Structure 1
Amino acid sequence: MQVLRLLAEPERHFGHQWSADAVEFGVCMTMITEELGVAQPTASKHLDILKQAGFITVRRHQKRSYCKRDEQAITNYLNWLQQELSLQSES
């Protein structure tokens, strides 16, 4: 959740990124790792889970990987979750 919150406002949290525009291109995994204050393998594992879930996209540029929220996938999931919770409360 913390990663998704950070990536929701890339200009606020990662405006100092110089290698690519954080809003348009995404945020460098190294910067996300630093912001989280965790080891690189830990951050990579969590980012991979978010990627597999479809909540972020990852693209490579030169030697770096950049992460960006997939807003449509997040919206779709939230809509699905709301619908499922509504159906369960009707039962």
Structure 2
Amino acid sequence: MNIYMDRAIQIKAISSEPRLKVLRLLREPKKHFSHQQSADPVEFGVCMTLIAEALGVAQPTASRHLDILKQAGFISAQKHLKWSYCKRNEPEIEKFLHWLGTEISPNQIT
């Protein structure tokens, strides 16, 4: 996949309020998911079930949003026992924001 196809997936990922909310919630996992007992939300990530609850959507709907964020590289997911946990991929988010700023900057040469 070329970089522009990757960027298209990333733009799709941030074009949805629920997916933006996931990224905002995962920015401060301790604040929003301190009630998670199965694993440390900062170190290990946040359980997908808790993310679905925070979004107020069914698990399959949350899974679809999370899958798009994973495809975009904005989150990573890992399984532990029967649960899956997600956390932000800060380096990839920073690279995307830098690219976006460069692409839409008024000083950009075409």
Q: TM-score normalized by structure 2?
A: 0.79
**Which of 55, 58, 61 lines up with 1:39 in the alignment?**
58
| 1:70 partner letter | N
Identity %: 64
What's the offset of the Cα at 1:86? 1.7
Structure 2's unaligned 5+ residue stretches are: 1-19
Over the aligned positions, Cα root-mean-square deviation in angstroms equals 1.4
Runs of 4+ in 1 over 3 A off after TM superposition: 87-91
1:8 aligned partner: 27
Secondary structure (helix, strand or coil) at the match of 1:65 reads strand
1:20 aligned partner: 39
**Which of 71, 79, 89 lines up with 1:70 in the alignment?**
89
| 1:68 partner letter | K
What's the offset of the Cα at 1:89? 5.4
Distance 1:2 1:9 in 2: 11
Distance 1:81 1:75 in 2: 10
Structure 1's unaligned 5+ residue stretches are: none
